[in-house]
Structure 1
Amino acid sequence: MTEVLTTPEAGGKLRRQRLGWYGYAWASHTFEATVITVFMSRYLPSTAENAVGENGRLHVLGIPIAPGSLFTYVISLCSISLFIVLPVMGAIADRTGRKRGMLLTFGYLGAFSVTAMWFIGEKDWQLGSILLIIAYLTYSAAKVVANSLLSDLADADQRDKISSIGWATGYIGGGLLLALNFVFSFMIDDKALLARVSLSSAGIWWAIFALIPVFLLRNLPRSRPERKIEGSVVTAGFRELGDTFRKLRAYPQSLLFLVAFLVYYDGISTVTALAADYGEKELLLSDETLLSAILIVQFAAFGGALLLGRLSGRWGAKRVISYSLVVWIGVVVAAYFLQAGSAVQFYILAMLLSIVMGGTQALSRSLYSSMIPRGKEAEFFSLYEVSSSGTSALGPLLFGLALQNTGSYRIAIVSLIVFFVAGLLILLKVNVHKAITAAGNTVPASLSGSK
């Protein structure tokens, strides 16, 4: 197994590469914070309502869609597409070793798509849907590559810390732009114009700060030498993907953790993506309240990621993640009982959510990275990214169906509790020590002698 080098010369190079990796998180997290969590989840449904009326129906391929559910259905479509696209893309990344080029190519495609959201008019739900699909898929593809680099940038005992710093840096970057959007909300009375300005600013921010990894992520270490590719890289990618699925049987505990993650993160991503929509439609909160609450979450999640990262050094990542899922269950239940118009209650719940959100994300990534074989990081993280790219298929689909059939946002939000309960029960069955040793990796000190 290849270990991260720690000689003085290699150490300086490694620090620069880590800074480049943090820099990409700083640049790209604006997609999750500004585009998914705040503006597109509300602006896209509003364009649909402007086109057909609040009680009308959109017709896509003969399927009637309620305007208020358009965003959740688009995200579900994207997530289903990821099942096909990302594993092949991950196989190509591992096969060619050109991770820096792929990270920046997909990253800039996503940034330009988000910048182009400036052109979404008040009835342009088709253009909005197309740009969201492009941005979502390219953002997810770039994130697969970024996550796969963690094994090259940190050894077993550093991985929780480096992953936590990466997530924390992303939250600060996303939070600063969101703070600027908050200032815009006091200057721009037109909600549609505010959404377009904020969305396009996220793309510009992403593109500008992606220059950091352009310069610092040079000469990345490779888990294995580049191999000669027979035929096209796409064909080779499908071959590698087939090989990965065949070998999954050799890593049953890693597969079990992946299943647990797919389940509980589906709930996490859906709650965070639809929090603003829930606050506006059900709790009748103002834009200023929603933006300020989500802004608080971004900065508080910075501290939460670092805090849970430190706790994992004492108790292990699995135990900390398990406790955080219990908190998530409490968050969903509390959200059902929030009083309409109560900004204070919304702020309190946002603070509670922020403590566990960043840490759950960071520790899940670092724990999974220790359970997968070297040289297959991008392929295995492509399966992981199907759910961790902001939201997955079943969560928003369940939320959308509950909303469409009951008309109640409260029932829709509390229905998501099933993902946290099921994910926690599956996670508790994972033998982490066995998963790490089966993958041929070093067991971190915090997990020695534990499951």
Structure 2
Amino acid sequence: MEQSTTNRKHIRAWLLYDWSNSAYATTVLAAVLPIFYSSVAAVTLHPETAASYLGYTHAAGMLCVALLSPLLGAVSDLAGNKGRFLFGFSLLGIVATMLFSTIGRGDWLLASALLVLSTIGFAGSNAFYDALLPDMVPPGQRERVSAQGYAYGYVGGGVMLALNLAMIQQPHWFGLYSTLAGTRLAFITVGIWWLVFAIPLFRMSGAFGKPVPYRSGHGAPSTLAGKRIRELIRPGMRNVINGFRTLPRYPQLARLLISFWFFNDGINTIILMATVYGTAIGIGMTDLLVALLITQFIGFPSTLVFGKLGTIYGAKRPLLMSLAVYLLIVALGYFMTSAWQFYVLASMVGLVQGGSQSLARALFSDLIPAARTGEYFGLINVTGKFASIFGPFVFGVVGQLTGSVRLGILSLVLFFIVGIVMLCTVNVETGRRQAMQSTMDGDEREASI
């Protein structure tokens, strides 16, 4: 009974973290910062130059995360305490986010530096958050809990976005004198929100003390646990190299990873390019922001539904179903001409976005050797981020060569088709046995220590 109560506390804490940091994804990355960057921080630059600088800044931040994630994931496995890394990256993201409120007109260099830091904090903390799923949630519950995490994120991010948009559009409601003051307050509130609701997971994961206990079947903490970080760098780097080298030992995991590269690139490109695409075909900014809110709040119940489907049927079948819906979204997006159609597509994205991402995360957690979750989730993050370059690149090249953004969006069909075909080749039960046998034999530490 005590163990069951402990598990519930761990699960609630894990869920709340998605609620907390999704405010950054919705308010900062998707809605407020792009406008603030061009209209305030880079107001002294030519608009096209400002847009390019923002793009370069995003790329620089993701490159830093891509280079750091697998190494830090491996180190966290060796140290036996992912919570401290989660806390450190979260704190970096929180502080950088709140410092956006200090940016003045023309401070584009400071804004870019803070965006790189906040990106490292946000994406880096997510790598350790994902890696805590198999540590804190027993098998058989991961599909449901992973989906609940995304659902919590949709609601938390949506609530905060609605509040922040009210601050910006109606600053006098909050005793503020201008839209700019409302924007600055929005950055501060996002940081506070992120910090307050992350505290339960910080405590449960051992950020302030003893790490979360290893569950049965997850092995014991490494003999390197408790050493200083600098003493773990060399074995951590060996683990990264070993992760690439040993991946062929887990062919089902390797197939899932290839599938993920393609379909996740398609999903991320839709997220990143939706506003650009909508603007290019004449959709107004108000309609775009409303559509973003629609996606958030439809995503909450639909992600829970996909979690239940994953529990009943396993993660693979409902994941395939969600990717088929994405194929339909891309096809319909090619013919879209009006705002109401954009609302329909936003609703469809809300139906499957959280479900597809949560099911993929749960599926990975079942196929990864138990004692190397940080290392392999880091590997998934780094390769996924490098792979995510190609979707926007293909979108841009096709659109530029053909002179049609519609053909650009249609090109994403290829990413989903390849992802679906590769996912169909994954044998989940075989992959689970391979991961479990690796843990039982102790192979996962070979050449690492």
Bin of the TM-score, shorter chain as denominator length:
0.7 to 0.9
1:139-218, aligned counterparts within 5 Å? 139-188=122-171, 195-218=183-206
Q: What whole-Å deviation, never above 9, does each CA across 1:210-244 have from its counterpart, x for those lacking one?
A: 22323444451233223135962222210121222
The AA in structure 2 aligned to 1:240 is N
User: Structure 2: how far apart are the matches of 1:126 and 1:402?
Assistant: 31
1:183–1:191: structure 2 CA closer, same or farther, 3 Å change rule? closer
CA shift, 1:389, in A, is 7.4
What is the rounded CA distance, in whole Å, between the counterparts of 1:17 and 1:77 in structure 2?
A: 34
Match of 1:20 among 13, 17, 23: 13
Gaps of 5+ in 2: 172-176, 439-449
Partner Cα distance (2:65, 2:145) in 1? 26
> Offset of 1:102 from its aligned partner?
1.1
Following TM superposition, by how much is the alpha carbon of 1:409 offset from its aligned partner in structure 2, in angstroms? 4.2
CA contact (8 A) 2:302 2:351 kept: yes
- Residues 273 and 390, structure 1, Cα contact 8 Å, conserved in 2: no
User: Structure 1 pair 120/333, CA: closer, same or farther in 2 (3 Å)?
Assistant: farther
Confirm or deny: 8 A CA contact 2:70 2:381 kept in the other structure. Answer: no
Which whole-Å CA distance do the structure 2 matches of 1:415 and 1:42 have between them? Answer: 28
In the alignment, the residues of structure 2 paired with residue 75 and residue 105 of structure 1 have an alpha-carbon distance, to the nearest angstrom, of 21
Q: 1:306-317 to 2 correspondence within 5 Å?
A: 306-317=304-315
Are residue 52 (structure 1) and residue 45 (structure 2) matched?
A: yes
Aligned to 2:301: 303
Q: Deviation of residue 407 (structure 1)?
A: 6.6
Partner Cα separation in structure 1 for residue 273 and residue 187 of structure 2: 17
Which residue in 2 is equivalent to 1:124?
107
**Equivalent residues in 2 for 1:24-423, closer than 5 Å:** 24-44=17-37, 50-54=43-47, 58=49, 67-188=50-171, 195-218=183-206, 219-222=211-214, 223=218, 224-228=220-224, 232-287=231-286, 289-339=287-337, 342-386=338-382, 392-401=388-397, 409-423=405-419
Q: Residue by residue, what CA displacement relative to the aligned partner does 1:334-356 show, whole Å, maximum 9, x if unpaired?
A: 223222xx332221111111010
1:403 and 1:198 map into 2 onto residues whose CA distance is 35
Kept in 1, the 8 Å contact 2:295–2:346? The answer is: yes
What is the Cα deviation at residue 401 of structure 1?
4.8
Measure how far apart 1:282 and its partner are.
3.5
Alpha-carbon displacement from aligned partner over 1:398-436 (angstroms, at most 9, x marks no partner): 345556666754444333333222212221222222211
The 1:420–1:36 alpha-carbon spacing in structure 2 relative to 1, beyond 3 Å, is farther
Matched residue pairs, number? 422
**Corresponding residue for 2:445?**
none
On the 8 A contact 1:104/1:142 being kept in 2, the answer is: yes
Match of 1:5 in 2: none
Measure how far apart 1:281 and its partner are.
4.7
Q: Partners of 2:355 and 2:274 in 1: how far apart?
A: 19
Kindly provide the CA deviation profile for residues 112-157 of structure 1, in whole angstroms up to 9, marking residues without a partner as x: 1111122334543332222222111221211111111111222221
- CA separation in 2, counterparts of 1:388 and 1:29? 19
Query: For the residues of structure 1 that align with 2:178 and 2:421, how far apart are their CA atoms?
Result: 46
Q: Cα 1:284–1:120, aligned 2, differ >3 Å: closer, same or farther?
A: farther
> Which amino acid in the other structure matches residue 22 of structure 2?
H
Cα distance, 1:72–1:404 mapped onto 2, change above 3 Å: farther
Identity %: 32
Alignment CA distance shift 1:404-1:83 (3 Å): same
Classify 1:254/1:181 alpha carbon distance in 2 versus 1 (closer, same or farther; 3 Å). Answer: same
Instruction: Specify the code of the residue in structure 2 equivalent to 1:153.
Output: M
Contact 1:76 1:394 in 2 (8 A): no
**Cα distance, 1:271–1:41 mapped onto 2, change above 3 Å:** farther
Query: Are the aligned partners of 1:269 and 1:391 in contact in 2 as well (CA < 8 Å)?
Result: no
Give the AA of the match of 1:109.
L
Task: Please point out which of 431, 441, 451 is paired with 2:427.
Answer: 431
Q: Please state how far the C-alpha of 1:192 moved relative to its aligned partner.
A: 5.8
Task: Tell me what 2:444 maps to.
Answer: none
Is the Cα contact below 8 Å between 1:73 and 1:397 reproduced in 2?
A: no
What is the alpha-carbon root mean square deviation over aligned residues?
Answer: 2.8
The Cα shift of 1:326 comes to: 1.3
Contact 1:400–1:412 (CA under 8 A) maintained in structure 2: yes
1 CA distance for matches of 2:25 and 2:66? 20
Residue number in structure 2 paired with 1:64? none
- Please tell me whether the aligned partners of residues 90 and 121 of structure 2 are also in contact (alpha carbons under 8 angstroms): yes
CA distance in 1, matches of 2:387, 2:238: 28
CA contact (8 A) 1:73 1:400 kept: no
Residue type of the partner of 1:220? V
Please give the alpha-carbon distance, in whole angstroms, between the structure 2 residues aligned to 1:276 and 1:184: 22
Cα distance in structure 2, aligned partners of 1:271 and 1:190: 33
Indicate if the aligned counterparts of 2:42 and 2:108 stay in contact, CA closer than 8 A. no
User: Which secondary structure does the structure 2 equivalent of 1:234 belong to?
Assistant: helix
Deviation of 1:373 after TM superposition, in Å, equals 0.4
Measured in 2, the distance between the counterparts of 1:134 and 1:242 equals 26
Q: Which residue of 1 aligns with 2:447?
A: none
- CA distance 1:307–1:140, shift in 2 (3 Å): same
Distance 1:159 1:384 in 2: 18
TM-score scaled by length of structure 1? 0.85
Tell me how far 1:68 sits from its aligned partner: 3.6
